[in-house]
Structure 1
Amino acid sequence: MHRSALVALSTLAVAYAQQVGTQTAEVHPPLTWQTCTAPGSCTTNNGKVVLDANWRWLHTTDGYTNCYTGNTWDASLCPDAETCAANCALDGADYTGTYGVTATGSSLKLNFVTNGANKNVGSRLYLMDTDTSYHMFKPLNQEFTFDVDVSTLPCGLNGALYFSEMDADGGMARFPTNKAGAKYGTGYCDSQCPRDLKFINGMANVEGWTPDSNSANSGTGNMGSCCSEMDVWEANSMDAAYTPHPCSTDGQTECTDDQCTGGTTGLCDPAGCDFNSFRMGDETFYGSGLTVDTTQPFTVVTQFLTSDNTTSGTLSEIRRLYVQNGQVIQNSKTSVAGLDAYDSITDDFCSAQKTAFGDDNLFAAQGGLQQMGASFAKGVVLVLSIWDDYAANMLWLDSDYPTDADASSPGVHRGNCATTSGVPADVESSAANAYVTYSNIKVGPIGSTFTSS
């Protein structure tokens, strides 16, 4: 939801860059994943992951001087967008030592806080086919499955796995000033149209840059970067949600002013249509010792059904299943006044949910599932991350939100976390050793990616 709050804490620099530095070699950690045709019949793909550019050191092309320090640009190096892009270079990453990222076979472990030479908080990575291109998934009439361990993620943290309609090459072909591309994790976009990105469309986001008052490392510029986003998984040990967020854009698109926000003038639906079992009325389904027991790893299965059961059809339903200890667990059903007993995301569910909760139906206004499916048909990039939330303390996932609303009103009570929880400074101290592990990623026709005992 508020993924733009992702930051790294470093005495180096935290920024998007479009030139390429030479101080650290960029070596992408290998990560295998599988393509299936039937249960137990899967082929292994040798993929890689790349760290998002926002975590990397941004420095002068011919030296070590920071172009961006704390939450401020160097005015002499970056007086404007074009000059900054020419002066500044993005460098390679020490994945484990600096960023707490460990890839082993089909498993990717992301540590929350890493205290190396510099302190780093969170990370965001993309699955690649090659060293210069992201893998493009086309999920229509497909099933996407992965294993996850959220056992150490408390209130306020989010282990998120999702699809964004990014360019396969990170924007290099469309924007000639982008010399770094997918190899260095450029080209990010999502349905929040984040304005904290340091570079968008090959240019520095320095115009109107305003440092954040509650973060020593981030700020916002005049530009944002929008695209349709499918949150397959946003979760900690307390709560989980899956949420499509359609945008009216065709792929990654720069926004300014009101285009970057929700509402009638925005390009995207930042709220989306979420299915959070707790928010939907089943408070005993997901959590420690519950039906889906978050003290142990489990398998998450997401099915993207089309109206004609083909890979070229219109997206009509998004279903969720879990598998734990060999048992298939059907998704919970809604138990909210005004809602039928839904257990999946459809346009009818989204319309009924928005009415029951008194929310504007931006989901329908931005094209609903049909528009989400159009994004899938073009191809989407897999994003894997861990983050805390400087904008809203993750309360929209695991607590009462909005905090000034009556908690007894439908849709407000989203989890049992206190409204005082999730403050980044607190979480970064008390949960420094938290991590999320994603493993055994599989994709294939409906019913092909999982088995039960």
Structure 2
Amino acid sequence: MSRKLSFVSCILLILLLSTWVAGQQIGTSLAENHPKLITQRCAKGSGCSENPRSIVLDANWRWLHTTSGYTNCYTGSSWNRDICSDPESCTAKCALDGADYPTTYGITTNNDELTLKFVTKHAYGTNVGSRVYLMDSSDSNYEMFYLKNQEFSFDVDVSNLPCGINGALYFVEMEKDGGSSNPNNKAGAKYGTGYCDAQCPHDIKYIKGQANLLDWDEKKKVGRWGSCCNEMDIWEANSIASAYTPHPCNVTGLHRCEGGNCNVCDQPGCDFNSYRLGDRDFFGENKIVDTKQKFTVITQFHTSDNTTRGDLVEIRRIYIQNGRVIQNSKVNVPGMNQYDSITNKFCDSQKDVFQDKNDFKNKGGLKAVGRSLDRGHVLVMSLWDDSNVNMLWLDSNFPLDRPATQPGVARGTCPISSGKPEEVERDYPNAYVKFSKVRVGDIGSTVL
């Protein structure tokens, strides 16, 4: 399960900045300069070569103001109805501006390392969390990843992520240009537009080139439309618990939904969380994968014929820490085999034993995930807290209407009282996640 779009509450009370915004026109108050990030492409027999890239901040965080001046189109949790009376006029009259990545958002890069800081105070207010995407060499489009018969690896430091905070790295089936082929979207990928995921988030301010202000709920900060697409969660974690989870959808690319047609994706997904699956000693502080130290995460996408043309049949996880290769944990749940990777059989068994609806199978399972990967995915890295259910689905007991002793309910050691955004933002403002050494290539090629 992932809930990436319920997280930040950066409220800027004066003119120059306002978060949780997005738009389609381009402002000129601050130049957009993407922080550089070195990644690598790898191949068996020839090793890895550097790919200098950059990252871009999601449009939902950016200042949105009138194209003719500096009046906010959106402030705090409210649209300016004098400007934004309807979706069309709001799109035409409002512009996204550039971002000061380190000062306003706590986002920094250093060669191959990206740091996302949790709370950043600055001259105009406070920012909480962030979401960024990897750009391609043109610096105008997103980098597209095709992961079947490939492996993806990165190093991560989650030592400063307590209960209730999620440092996530994942892939979604976004458009390469961020939707700039739509005539209403002049900003595009360069300004971080076009987000979607399997939760069909309704808090995206602009979807398919139109402002999402109809039926806007100021308390929940959501509108009528959702933004759905296939999602592959490589990594959702803090220092307590972690999970990797494919989420298939029965739509292609970004699907703007409303009402009943938002049930197009497997929102819970088929997750592999070692704690939830019965190994309580595998992941965490001073455990087999020790979250007090940095480690490498390797994810392999195996196909039926060991080529990119075959069906996706297995997603396998390996760790490396202090030079030691650590194979993934094995399932230790009564009624389940000792699975150690995500396969259709694992997912069917997990859903049955945990008494969960098997929407993963209903939405096409791994074969559907593979078809989506064939179309290309965008790399997302984010840091967030959860105003919906306090991240309990990742690191505590969830759902709360089931006993903790029921298989699949306990997901980590965090108490069910933990994870409230107002508390973690107050108590852990200096929390951060660091991602580094991002690599993709042939299976067996990304770790030297």
Q: TM-score range by the shorter chain?
A: over 0.9
307, 315, 318: which one aligns with 2:312: 315
Pair 1:127 & 2:124 matched: no
Pair 1:389 & 2:386 matched: yes
Q: Deviations over 1:55-78 (max 9, x none)?
A: 000011111111011111011111
Instruction: Tell me the TM-score normalised to structure 2 length.
Output: 0.97
Structure 2 unaligned regions, length at least 5: none
1:8 shift after superposition: 4.5
**Number of the residue aligned with 1:156:** 164
Q: Deviations over 1:251-286 (max 9, x none)?
A: 1110111222xxxxx110010000000000000000
Identical-residue share of aligned pairs (%) = 57
1:13 shift after superposition: 1.9
Q: Deviations over 1:224-252 (max 9, x none)?
A: 00000000000000000000000011111
Q: Deviations over 1:134-190 (max 9, x none)?
A: 0000000000000000000000000000000000000111x2101100000000000
1:40 shift after superposition: 7.7
Instruction: Tell me the TM-score normalised to structure 1 length.
Output: 0.96
User: Would you say the 8 A contact 1:272–1:363 is kept in 2?
Assistant: yes
User: Would you say the 8 A contact 1:39–1:449 is kept in 2?
Assistant: no
428, 432, 440: which one aligns with 2:437: 440
Cα distance in structure 2, aligned partners of 1:221 and 1:41: 47
Letter in 1 for 2:146: K
Matches within 5 A, 1:272-283: 272-283=269-280
**Number of the residue aligned with 2:421:** 424
Secondary structure of 2:50's counterpart equals strand
Q: Deviations over 1:75-122 (max 9, x none)?
A: 111111000001100000000000000011000000000111120000
**Number of the residue aligned with 1:268:** 265
Cα distance in structure 2, aligned partners of 1:204 and 1:382: 24
**Number of the residue aligned with 1:291:** 288
Root-mean-square deviation (CA), in Å? 0.9
Structure 1 ranges of 4+ moved more than 6 A? none
Q: Deviations over 1:323-354 (max 9, x none)?
A: 00000000000011111000000000000000
Secondary structure of 2:383's counterpart equals strand
**Number of the residue aligned with 1:110:** 116
Letter in 1 for 2:200: C
1:211 shift after superposition: 1.4
Letter in 1 for 2:236: E
Q: Which moved more, 1:7-16 or 1:18-27?
A: 7-16
**Number of the residue aligned with 1:49:** 55
**Number of the residue aligned with 2:397:** 400
**Number of the residue aligned with 1:221:** 223
Cα distance in structure 1, aligned partners of 2:46 and 2:168: 26
Cα distance in structure 2, aligned partners of 1:168 and 1:80: 28
Structure 1 unaligned regions, length at least 5: 214-218, 261-265
1:176/1:122 Cα in 2 relative to 1: closer, same or farther (>3 Å)? same
Matches within 5 A, 1:195-344: 195-212=202-219, 219-260=221-262, 266-344=263-341
User: Would you say the 8 A contact 1:305–1:317 is kept in 2?
Assistant: yes
Pair 1:370 & 2:367 matched: yes
How many positions carry a matched residue from both structures? 440
1:359/1:73 Cα in 2 relative to 1: closer, same or farther (>3 Å)? same
